[in-house]
Structures are given as structure tokens and as C-alpha cells.
Structure 1
Amino acid sequence: MPAYHSSFNEYPDMRLVGNLAILPVKTKFRGPAPTADPNEADIVDETLDLFRANSLFRNFEIKGPADRLLIILILFVSDCLAKIGSARTTPTQIEATKTLNTLAVDNFPIPGDANFALNAHYAPPPSRTDAGESIVDIPVRQELAARLVEKLYADGTGKPSKWWMSFQKRRFMNRSLGTQ
């Protein structure tokens, strides 16, 4: 069974930084990404929808720049789940939001950095200024973390979903961004 690929690979007028797509995102955080239509799914929605299925795969054929972005965002979700799972006590929704927001704003390796786990598959940005415009910038990570917390605590019990937390030790492509 093949992995699920991004539906944004054929997105018109896609900007690229290196070989990584900059796609519209529905977010309240200001950043370099264009604003998406609130009635349409964006790359963050797609990441959360495809995370559990794709995290079971060790190999992933990259079919476009949006797939490269999807890989980074899936690895970030994996790191977020691992961070919540490593807490001494089960965090409440508010504690999880604070923890993941801190993780989202922490130093984050990007393509071209020596400590980026997938440098072989990514072209570095042409300049450091372009690196700052990358979609894996802080606002997109913050939005992804916020939406993940909403999904984790959607049942209203005050505890994270066991279904989601069962993926905390799974590593997509046996990799980690090492953000925790």
C-alpha cells in the first residue's frame, strides 16, 4: 500500500524556497504564508488528516514540493506527540497548549542546517532571508500545534486521545526533527 501524498503538489502559483513549497494556511498568526480560504482545507488540515496513516510508512516517495512540506509537518506532529507523552503527568489541554507552543517557537532546524535530519532530500534556501520565509517558520508550527491540541482534546475528557497518543513512539520514515 503506498503512502498518501499531498493534494497540493499541483497547486497553481506555488512559491518555492529551495525545493520546499510555500502554501496558503488558515491561521491567526502572522507569517510568510499566504492566507488560505477559510472554507477550504489547507496543508495543516491535510497534515493532521494524513498523519496517522503516513506515520506507519518507512519509505515515502516525494512527488512534489508540497510532499516535502508534508514530511516536515508530519515529523513535527510526531515530535509534538512525543513531547506530550514524555510529560510526568498527563497534561491538561491548557498545559499541552503551552508546551506545544513553546516547542513551536523553539529553535527549529531547516533544510540546509547541519542538524536538519533530511538534508539529502531538500535543497537549502538560496539565502538566510529566504530561509526566514520558509513555511516551516514559527506561525505555521504554532498553527499546527494549536490544531493538534484541539484534535487531541476533542472528546472533552480533559485527557489526550489515546488513539492519537498511540502514535507518540512511531517515527515517520524512522526520523525525527529532533525539536524536543
Structure 2
Amino acid sequence: MPAYHSALNEEPDVRQVGNMAVLPIKTKIRGPAPLADPNSGDIIDETLDLFRANSLFRNFEIKGPADRLLIVLILFVSDCLAKIGSSRAAPNQLEASKLLNTLAVDNFPIPGDANFALNAHYAPPGSRSDAEYLRQYLVQVRQELAARLIERLYADGTGKPSKWWMAFQKRRFMNRSLGT
């Protein structure tokens, strides 16, 4: 059974930095990302919907630039769950939100950096300004993804993260991690 791919691979007129798509997102967080139609899904919704199924796969065939962004976001969700799961006691929603927002804005490698885990599959940005744009875009997307992940993790109202999500904290998509 093959892994699930992004439906946004076929989007026309999508900007690419290196060979990673810069897709529109629904967000209130300031940043360079283009804004998506509020009534349609975006890459963040797709990441959260496909995370649990795709995290079971060791191999993933990249079929387009949106898949490259999907991979990075799925690995970020894995890191988020690991961060929440590493706490002694399960953090409440506010504490988890602070933890993940800090993780989202922390310095992280981008394609082309020496310590980026997937450099073999990603082209580096063409210029320094493209690299800075990609970093700002990824910070914005990571912040929005962390906020929406918190909403899903704590949706049941018990004040504890969902066991159906936390069960995937030790799973590694493609046996990789973005964490250093």
C-alpha cells in the first residue's frame, strides 16, 4: 500500500524555493505565506489529516513540490508530539501551546544547510534572499501547524492530549527526524 501524497502537487502557478512549494495557508500569523481561501483546505489541514497514516511508512515517493513541503511538515508534527510526550506530566493546553510555539520559532535547518536531514531530496534555495524567504515561510507555517495541532490534541476537553495522537510520538516517518 503506497503512502498518501499531497493533493496540492498539481496546483498551477505555485512559487517554489529550491524544489519545495510555497503554498497558501489559512492563518492569522504574520509572515510571507500567501493567504488561502478560508473555505478550502490548505497544506496544514492536509498534513494533519495524513500524518497518522503516513507516519506508518518508511518509504515515500516524492511526486511533486507539495510532497516535499508535506514531508517537512509531517516530520515537524512528529517532533511536536515527541516534545509534548517528553514532559514528565502531560502538559495542559496552554503549556503545550507555549512548548510548541517555542519549537516552531527555534532556529532550524532548511534545505541546503549542512545539518538538514533530507538534503539528498531537496534542492537548496537559489539565493540568500530565497533562503531567508523560505525560512520565514517555514516559521509561519510551523507556528500555524503547531496551533492547529494543539486544537486537535486537546479537542476532547479533558485537558490532556489525545491518546490517539500521542500513540504516534515514537513513530518516525521515513525513519527521520528534523530534531538535532
Q: Which TM bucket (shorter chain)?
A: over 0.9
Answer whether contact 1:31 1:137 (CA < 8 A) is retained. no
Q: Which residues of 2 match residues 148-163 of structure 1 at below 5 A? A: 148-163=149-164
Provide the C-alpha distance between the structure 2 equivalents of 1:111 and 1:123, rounded to a whole number of angstroms: 7
Q: Which residue of 1 aligns with 2:8?
A: 8
Q: Runs of 4+ in structure 1 displaced over 2 angstroms?
A: none
TM score, norm. by length of structure 2 = 0.97
Q: Which amino acid aligns with 1:131?
A: A
Q: Which residue of 1 aligns with 2:99?
A: 99
Residue-by-residue CA offset, 1:116-138 (whole Å, 9 max, x unaligned): 00000000001121112227521
Residue-by-residue CA offset, 1:117-160 (whole Å, 9 max, x unaligned): 00000000011211122275211100000000000000000000
Q: Which residue of 1 aligns with 2:166?
A: 165
Q: Which amino acid aligns with 1:174?
A: N
Provide the C-alpha distance between the structure 1 equivalents of 2:148 and 2:70, rounded to a whole number of angstroms: 15
Q: Which residue of 2 aligns with 1:112?
A: 112
Q: Report deviation, 1:95.
A: 0.2
Q: How many residues align?
A: 179
Q: Report deviation, 1:33.
A: 1.3
Q: Which residue of 2 aligns with 1:60?
A: 60
Q: CA RMSD in A?
A: 0.9
Provide the C-alpha distance between the structure 2 equivalents of 1:133 and 1:33, rounded to a whole number of angstroms: 9
Gaps of 5+ in 1: none
Q: Which amino acid aligns with 2:113?
A: D
Q: Percent identity?
A: 81
Q: Report deviation, 1:91.
A: 0.1
Gaps of 5+ in 2: none
Q: Which amino acid aligns with 1:81?
A: L
Q: Which amino acid aligns with 2:48?
A: L
Provide the C-alpha distance between the structure 1 equivalents of 2:162 and 2:128, rounded to a whole number of angstroms: 39
Provide the C-alpha distance between the structure 2 equivalents of 1:100 and 1:94, rounded to a whole number of angstroms: 10
Provide the C-alpha distance between the structure 2 equivalents of 1:70 and 1:170, rounded to a whole number of angstroms: 16
Q: Which residue of 2 aligns with 1:39?
A: 39
Q: Which amino acid aligns with 2:6?
A: S
Provide the C-alpha distance between the structure 1 equivalents of 2:148 and 2:131, rounded to a whole number of angstroms: 24
Provide the C-alpha distance between the structure 2 equivalents of 1:137 and 1:50, rounded to a whole number of angstroms: 19
